[in-house]
């Protein structure tokens, strides 16, 4: 199985890099993990609606360029479907059972994802209504992916 995480912007914080590296190492025995960073669009602090749309469009183009046609895509979005870890693990297991061996997760930049990326996604995943930094979401996501494998394996990790 191939899992790709596409994130907007470069990860700078050492503690996040270390956490992600730890879970990436743990995932080695379950899948081939690829983390792809696309450049975030430089923008001033205060943006008009039109400028926000343009920033998301440009970042969206960069994201879409990293997604192949055969990949099953989860877009992380506040308006997406919330799931319990067990439900996510079961869905994850079903995807592989039905021939989806290339699964991609997309985390947008600080403004979110463009409509084009949301349209390309096969599913939208929400981790709740809380606003979290998109860099922190990478760590949260990779831990949940690892947790899904542990649940499906019957491991006590999830308890």
Query: Which tokens is 116 given?
Result: 């084009």
129 is known to lie in a ligand binding site:
yes
Q: How long a stretch of residues is the chain? A: 159
Query: Which tokens is 139 given?
Result: 């760590």
130 is known to lie in a ligand binding site:
yes
132 is known to lie in a ligand binding site:
yes
Whether 8 and 40 have beta carbons less than 8 Å apart is answered as: yes
131 is known to lie in a ligand binding site:
yes
99 is known to lie in a ligand binding site:
no
Q: Could you say which DSSP state residue 41 is in?
A: P
76 is known to lie in a ligand binding site:
yes
Q: How far is CA 42 from the centre of its chain?
A: 21
β-pair type (2-8, 72-82): unpaired
Q: Binding site for S-adenosyl-L-methionine: residue ranges?
A: 76, 108, 127-132
Annotated binding site: 76, 108, 127-132
């Amino acid at each position: 199985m191939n899992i790709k995480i596409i994130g907007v912007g470069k990860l700078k914080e050492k503690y996040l890099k270390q956490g992600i590296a730890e879970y990436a190492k743990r995932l080695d025995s379950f899948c081939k993990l690829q983390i792809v960073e696309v450049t975030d669009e430089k923008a001033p602090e205060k943006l008009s609606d039109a400028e926000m749309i343009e920033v998301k469009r440009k970042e969206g183009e960069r994201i879409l360029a990293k997604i192949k046609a055969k990949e099953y895509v989860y877009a992380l979005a506040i308006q997406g479907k919330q799931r319990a870890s067990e439900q996510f693990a079961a869905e994850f297991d079903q995807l592989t059972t039905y021939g989806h061996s290339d699964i991609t997760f997309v985390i947008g930049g600080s403004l979110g994802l463009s409509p084009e990326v949301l349209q390309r996604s096969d599913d939208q995943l929400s981790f709740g209504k809380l606003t979290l930094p998109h860099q922190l979401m990478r760590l949260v996501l990779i831990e949940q992916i690892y947790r899904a494998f542990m649940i499906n394996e019957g491991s006590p990790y999830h308890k």
